[in-house]
Amino acid sequence: MSDLNYLCIFFILVLLSTSSLPLLVSSAKCNKDDKKTLLKLKIGFGNPQDLSWNSDTSCCSWNGIICLSDTGRVIFLDISSANLSGTISPAIGDLPLVTQINIQYSPFLTGTIPHSITKLPLTSLTIRFTSLSGHIPTFLGELRKLNTLDLSGNRLTGHIPDSIASLPNLDRLILSNNKLTGRIPQSLFHGLTARNLLDLSDNLLTGDIPDSLGNADLSYIFLSGNNFSGDPSFIFGESKNLTQIDLSRNKFVMNLSTVGFPSYLAMLGLGQNLIYGSIPGSIASLEHLNTLNVSYNRLSGKIPTGGMMSLFDASCYSHNKCLCGNPLPKCRT
């Protein structure tokens, strides 16, 4: 190869590296205060080996950290399966631009959520599948911008605080798989704005579900595996935008004959309740229905046919009062 060719390659390399230079600079930049805070958090987490946060490197290059490229300030903390232990250090409140926190799958992480978290402009807080315990802190209601709160799969006890129920922008509330007791606060999702998801499955919640859930424009409602009672028929209705409803394993009492099904319904779980009446024929016109289970109730009458109904086997209808017709034995005439 001639010297000229070498020169050419040299220039191409220089061009390539300068063109990617701004990107490198931004990822190398890391706000010094944020870095200090993250290192404190790491110590609180018991210095886990899986968390390669190292003071020699830019915090914006650490796993689970996303920074603003211009200032190097941390905006997103996403720590999954890092085997954290210890607790969440109160230092977490010293990351003033963090809007999203996602800490999950760390069964050795214990303690509670520190009060200092209320200093952050959070829109999303997820701490799931850890060993967080105690009550859900009332002060989470100070996070006025919060739209997602997911504290599922922890060891939380006590009631769902009113302060959370009335958060104005909350549109996904996921508290499943804890040991929560008491009733759903009356104020939950009050108002008519569009909401997305309520998941309170597998807790020890009791009582009627509040009227406010009849007006909330939800897509998903999961209440299975609690001790809820009363008549939940007001959450149904043909004009509702609900696509998935799971009320199974409770003590709900309703006359299913009177229920209008939301037209986009894809999943309906009603098993193991005290539901009576018959299955309305309109269920066969639900074009999206792919999961249905009404077993272990007090239903009677002929199972509707047509549409998606051929998808469901006998186990979806078993242990009722006197349901009949395909896939169960023929109705006696």
Ligand X SMILES: *[C@@H]1O[C@H](CO)[C@@H](O)[C@H](O)[C@H]1NC(C)=O
Task: Compute the least distance from the CB of residue 241 to ligand X, in Å.
Answer: 4
Which residue stretch of 61-69, 97-105, 152-160, 253-261 sits at the interface with ligand X (rule: CB under 6 A)? Answer: 253-261
CA 69 to chain centre: 29
Q: Contact with ligand X (CB under 6 A): which of 44, 141, 225, 271?
A: 271
Q: Closest by alpha carbon to 251, among 207, 285, 295? A: 207
Sign of CA dihedral 320, 324, 330, 333: positive
| Site membership for ligand X, residue 52 (CB under 6 A) | no
| Site membership for ligand X, residue 85 (CB under 6 A) | yes
Which residue stretch of 70-78, 152-160, 234-242, 325-333 sits at the interface with ligand X (rule: CB under 6 A)? Answer: 234-242
Grouping H, G, I as helix, E, B as strand and the rest as coil, residue 75 is strand
**Number of continuous H segments (helices) and E segments (strands) in the chain:** 5, 20
| Site membership for ligand X, residue 233 (CB under 6 A) | no
Nearer residue to ligand X within complex by CB, 140 or 218: 218
Task: Compute the least distance from the CB of residue 292 to ligand X, in Å.
Answer: 8
| Site membership for ligand X, residue 179 (CB under 6 A) | no
Residue 182 in tokens: 């008491």
C-alpha distances (whole Å) from 175 to each of 78, 107, 198, 205, 301 are 19, 17, 8, 11, 36
d(CA 195, CA 193): 6
Footprint on residues 93-132 left by ligand X (CB under 6 A): 108
The site map against ligand X for 191-230 (x = CB under 6 A) is: ---x---------x-x----------x---------x-x-
| Site membership for ligand X, residue 46 (CB under 6 A) | yes
Task: Compute the least distance from the CB of residue 309 to ligand X, in Å.
Answer: 13
d(CA 139, CA 1): 70
| Site membership for ligand X, residue 251 (CB under 6 A) | yes
Nearer residue to ligand X within complex by CB, 96 or 281: 281
Task: Compute the least distance from the CB of residue 158 to ligand X, in Å.
Answer: 14
- Longest alpha-carbon distance in the chain: 98
d(CA 109, CA 270): 35
The site map against ligand X for 148-177 (x = CB under 6 A) is: ------------------------------
| Contact (CB, 8 A) for 289 and 266 | yes
d(CA 67, CA 65): 7
| Contact (CB, 8 A) for 284 and 262 | no
d(CA 244, CA 313): 19
Q: Contact with ligand X (CB under 6 A): which of 295, 297, 299, 301?
A: 295
Nearer residue to ligand X within complex by CB, 20 or 257: 257
| Contact (CB, 8 A) for 292 and 316 | yes
**CB count in 10 Å sphere of residue 231:** 14
| Site membership for ligand X, residue 44 (CB under 6 A) | no
| Interface positions with ligand X (CB under 6 A) | 46, 83, 85, 108, 194, 204, 206, 217, 227, 229, 239-241, 251, 255, 257-258, 271-272, 276-277, 293, 295-296, 313, 315-316
